[in-house]
Amino acid sequence: QVQLVESGGGLVQPGGSLRLSCAASGFTLDYYAIGWFRQAPGKEREGVSCISSSDGSTYYVDSVKGRFTISRDNTKNTIYLQMNSLNPEDTGFYYCARFPSRSGQGWYASVLKYYYGIDLWGKGTLVTVSS
């Protein structure tokens, strides 16, 4: 069974924090990059952040820089997304996805925008930021 399973979503007040997890099974996470994507109600899906497999480089879209942190724990085969200073615009379903690692920052930025090379998605976890 090859899959990604997200967890950690829930209801949080504006300004609060959540940590999402993306657990991989059926394959070794060491050989893949992982990205986080989200889809707000009535909006198109957008890339949020990703982390490479080769050197652990991380990338973020401008709207979450300084607030979100992506990390990898290969011993647990798990990717995390720490989300701080949440606001209502962060509400939505959050998905993790698998894609091949490549050299260069431009590749990871392109994956977040165009979903290049993605071959596996999780089913998502819901984050609701509301007072």
pLDDT digit string, tens, across residues 88-97: 999 999 999 9
Q: Give residues with Cβ within 8 angstroms of 74, minimum separation 6.
A: 29, 30
The pLDDT assigned to 105 comes to 82
pLDDT per residue over 3-35, tens digit each?
A: 999 999 999 999 999 999 999 999 988 889 999
Q: Is 38 helix (H, G, I), strand (E, B) or coil?
A: strand
Task: Output the average pLDDT for the chain.
Answer: 95
Dihedral angle sign, alpha carbons of residues 71, 51, 20, 5: negative
Q: Which two tokens stand for residue 80?
A: 């995390």
The pLDDT assigned to 55 comes to 79
pLDDT per residue over 101-126, tens digit each?
A: 888 889 999 999 999 999 999 999 99
Q: How far is residue 1's CA from residue 90's CA, in Å, rounded to a whole number?
A: 31
pLDDT per residue over 40-89, tens digit each?
A: 999 999 999 999 987 789 999 999 999 999 999 989 999 999 999 999 99
